Amino acid sequence: MKCKWLASIAIIVALMVTGVYTVSADKTAIEAGMVLHINNQQWANYRQLQIELQKAALKFRGSSAILIQDLSSDNDIKINADTLFPSASLVKMPIMAAYYQAQAEGKLSLDDKIVLRRNHKINNCSHLYFARCGRAFSIRALIERMITESDNTATNMLVEHLGFVYLNEKFVGFGLKNTDIRRGIMDMKERNEGVENYTTAQDMALLLGKIYRGELVSSEASSQMIAVLKRQKVNDRIPRWLPGDVTVAHKTGLLKNTVSDVGIVFTPHGDFIICVITADIRGYRSAKRFISKIAAATYDRCYRRSNAIAKG
């Protein structure tokens, strides 16, 4: 064995002398091997995570869609990702994007103001419900409330201002295949008559991926949308059991029989998209805990220091 090792060294030295073998070539080969090892390790982590999440989805009392996507590779996990679910407040994220698109088109400015009227008011998840009718709010301020507080009165004001037709056209323009808005967010009368707003985990992940890469409307608009999503005040789902050095840009959704949360998780060891949507649930608390467990399992398996792939 020692003789073979010495012979190999002799061959390498000879090749270096003749210029056939160089140190730079050796470094490149080592780096290629490292990349291969990293990709293989991350792939293995994701495959193990997929098994865990499939088991969790089967045990969950209700229906669910789960999509996890690493943002530095092609690794992802999709469970019922193309299945239609009631969007609830998740639709507020593409509504926000439509307003940034409208500003880019010169249709409006986010500093324009909309006047609050009585028909806008929803006495459910809304601080603006208590505001005086006739008061004007900037579009930018309404977007902030719609996303960070999930304010339904602010959402009604924004939906009415641009209209269903324009919003749905922009949703299609963003590449969303199964996301629409057919009724007001809290219009329970129409919902009881079968009129529903739908989305999929795949559509939400597509939108988040474009925002992350700076491709939704523009790089500046995407950056501003991420900043708004990071200021989310409802943090009882995805961020709940994640450590303090992790930042989450996300949007929650909650309506009768459905709880959800979708977002981008920024960690020291890599960023990932997570979309979890539930329906036909037994209770809000168990559904929220299910989402928190999915987020924590993803972080623990693939992005915690002991399991994550160190960045060069």
Per DSSP, helices labelled H in 62-200 are 92-104, 139-148, 152-162, 164-173, 188-192
Contact yes or no for 60/290 (Cβ under 8 A): yes
In a domain, residue 8? The reply is no
Specify the number of domains making up the chain.
1
- Residue 77 phi/psi, 5-degree rounding, is -135, 130
CA atoms within 13 A on the CB side of 43: 7
Radius of gyration (C-alpha) of the chain in whole angstroms: 24
Residue 175 contacts by C-beta under 8 Å, 6 or more apart in sequence? 206, 210
In this structure, the dihedral spanned by the alpha carbons of residues 42, 47, 52 and 55, taken in order and rounded to 10 degrees, is 160
Read off the CATH number of the domain in which 177 is found.
3.40.710.10
For residue 123, what pLDDT is reported? Answer: 83
List pLDDT tens digits, range 236-262: 999 999 999 999 999 999 998 999 999
Residue 17 lies in a domain: no
Res 174: pLDDT: 98
Collapsing DSSP to helix, strand or coil, 306 comes out as coil
Per-residue pLDDT, 40: 79
Which residue range(s) make up the domain with 211?
A: 50-303
The residues of the chain scoring below 70 in pLDDT are: 1-39, 188, 306-312
Task: Return the pLDDT at 11.
Answer: 37
Q: Which pLDDT score is estimated for 192?
A: 76
pLDDT at 41: 85
Q: Is residue 143 part of a domain?
A: yes
What pLDDT does residue 308 have?
Answer: 61
pLDDT of residue 306: 65
Summarize pLDDT for 136-175 with one digit per residue, the tens.
999 999 999 999 999 999 999 999 999 999 999 999 999 9
DSSP output for 213-230: TT-SS-HHHHHHHHHHHH
33 part of a folded domain: no
The model's pTM: 0.86
Q: List the end-to-end C-alpha distance of the chain, in Å, as a whole number.
A: 35
Specify whether the CB–CB gap between 222 and 216 falls below 8 A: yes
